[in-house]
Amino acid sequence: MPRRRKRARFEQLTEFERGRIIGLREAGLSYRAVASRVQRNSSTVMRVWKQWTDECRTTRKSGSGPRNVTSARDDRHLVRMARTDRTASSRQLAALWSIATGVSLCASSIRRRLLQCGLRARTPLYRIPLTHDHRRLRLQWANQHRDWRADWQHVVFSDESRFNLWYHDGRIRVRRYAGERHLPECIIERHSGRTPGVMVWGAIAYHRRSQLLRIVGNLNSNRYIREVLQPEAVPFLQSLPGAVFQQDNARPHTARIVKSFFAAQQVQLLPWPACSPDMSPIEHVWDVIGRRLARDPRPVASADELWFPLDSPLRRYPPLRQKAVVYFAMIPVIQSSLVWNIDS
């Protein structure tokens, strides 16, 4: 037997439900039988039937229910207040509203008015703080590689990522309309910080991926060569004819000794603008692993306990190689979006 749909409290009857009640009553069913059919209270069925027999109509009377404390003009003023400070909570807006108008309004009414106007509290988009030079270099890089299509199949994207022992989504929300996710006032900037977890290194190509390496402690240029480039990165690049290696501009990656090592190994590097982790498709791989770890019900108390499930999903997740093709296909879209956002 199918489960009954859980109905919200004080949900109004639809015109179809009212007509169904009248039809079932005219068919000779009792109030209790009709209430069981439409999943409503018997008193509700009696009230609809009485309205039909007395007034020959079933529509809800106009003006029924409590009246709004605010007018349409007040609602527009409330929307302006919410758009002025996108991160203000409903309680803060209620306090500001009380000071500005002298009328007390609860936080739930504030949220209801804003929802009616299309403003919904959503998670903000976080980004790294970018200077004018950062934006200029990112735009220059996007324009230089705008015509690349098949060339991306030769690029090997690499990066380090840190997976924490616990996950949270924060409590700050922004009120915005649909399509306003990338507006500056809807974005909260934050710097990356150290929290307990596991640091890993990995690389992806168009049809292949490297092994996932664990990095314990601080990574310097010597350790980068000894623990990452020599045992994994260079053999992985040599197995791909015409491979181009991509890495960010972290200090261990751009040290003089690392550049000399790349020159000695004849590794071709892809120039990369500073502060641009969002332009690399490997970030989607980290997102896949992070989501799988967040769904893991097993409690994790240490970094060693986190490393085993972290290493296992990447090795036992064959669709990741097919998904890498999709991630590479997204690069032209990322470039076009980058150019559009900077130009606008």
> Each residue's pLDDT tens digit in the chain (344 positions)?
445 555 545 678 888 999 999 999 999 999 999 999 999 999 999 999 998 988 888 887 766 566 777 888 888 999 999 999 999 999 999 999 889 888 888 999 999 999 999 999 888 888 888 889 998 998 889 888 888 888 888 999 999 998 887 665 555 678 889 888 889 888 877 655 566 788 999 999 888 888 889 999 899 999 999 999 999 999 999 999 999 999 999 999 999 999 999 999 999 999 999 988 888 888 888 888 887 777 777 777 777 777 876 555 544 544 445 455 555 555 665 655 555 555 54
How far does CA 107 lie from the centroid of its chain? Answer: 26
For residues 206 and 202, give the distance between their C-alpha atoms in angstroms, rounded to a whole number.
14
Report how far apart, in Å, the C-alpha atoms of 21 and of each of 8, 10, 39, 56 are. 19, 18, 11, 14
Sheet strands (E) in the chain: 120-122, 125-127, 155-164, 174-176, 187-189, 197-204, 213-215, 244-246, 268-269
Phi, psi of 301 (to 5 degrees): -110, -15
- Which CATH number among 1.10.10.10, 3.40.50.10440, 3.30.70.600, 3.30.420.10 corresponds to the domain 132-341? 3.30.420.10
For the chain, the domains span 15-55, 72-118, 132-341
For residues 307 and 309, give the distance between their C-alpha atoms in angstroms, rounded to a whole number.
6
pLDDT digits (tens, 9 = 90+) for 69-82: 788 888 899 999 99
The dihedral over CA atoms of 171, 175, 181, 183, expressed in degrees to the nearest 10, equals -110
As given in the structure block, the two tokens for residue 145 are: 């590689």
